A and B are shown apart, each in its own frame.
Chain A
């Protein structure tokens, strides 16, 4: 009988069942890949890190004593690999380093609702790049992976109160980064779209976006 839940898969994997490992890989490769992409902001680097993460899982399967904590253990490995990769690529020096100072493209001068999907994705990546890795990781684990505070604390080897503190600070910074765009959105909502001074409807594509509310 093929095991289906995580615990059975992990126990089978630890007992030497290779198919159980493949099942675990297929189950978790997506979340780990998404986490790595957002942490590294690079898909090619994320692919390398995902491979390295699961190789470590394969090598160190005996070290996982609590099979209930597999997800936290897996993301801990992925997180450490991401931080190592960030250090190697000099994107961020360390968790205590200064905030990311990479030159980025200026924010679009259009309201948020007129942004295309790809522009919104670029903005998300732009805002994530502004955050320090220790803020970025808690935000990603919460917003993308939907981990609980306790799980994030286990992954980042910190306490729940520290996780909350970092998450709230990250959101405060995020709100500050998004403020100009959201302000334009509100100004566009208060005034008619054709006469909005900074709406610039002719300057940006509006296909697929909803018209501003009257």
Chain B
């Protein structure tokens, strides 16, 4: 540790590598340890994120795209990333925190399926979004109120039942009735949803699966 405290560039590189290795080996405990080492060594937290974590999660994404790894590895990498970020983010000055956008996400009213929503939520977080996870069985009004409160740019509504997808439309209709439709991009997803459904209800995009939802969120973060 004394060597780490010396903070020369070689030591920093070792720290970045240990964080990167933790993400690439899907190891939350190792990510936590590496993040704590970096904090003790007083390395700039933003630099740690940018040099250690972000390239690693990018590599994980590339592996997933090439089908070298599957969804479970992707989830574990996102969790390891989240563990390290939870420790490092509070140390980054607020004016330097650059999230792509805030996303208010939840499973719609009447529906308590949460696995798919949680996958997307974790992956959004790992990909640089500020995520407000509203949980399951979320009322239409709550989606909108929480999105406003958190200054979210994107609302993400998940529905897993053909009997509950109508609540996705309710969110959009409610925004229209408030004359606030343009303030938020609304993306929808879940088993029974389709691209046509998304078009039909006037959503801004449909997330077919977690990976495409991240791409969609990246696009929506830049503007509808």
Say if A and B assemble together. no
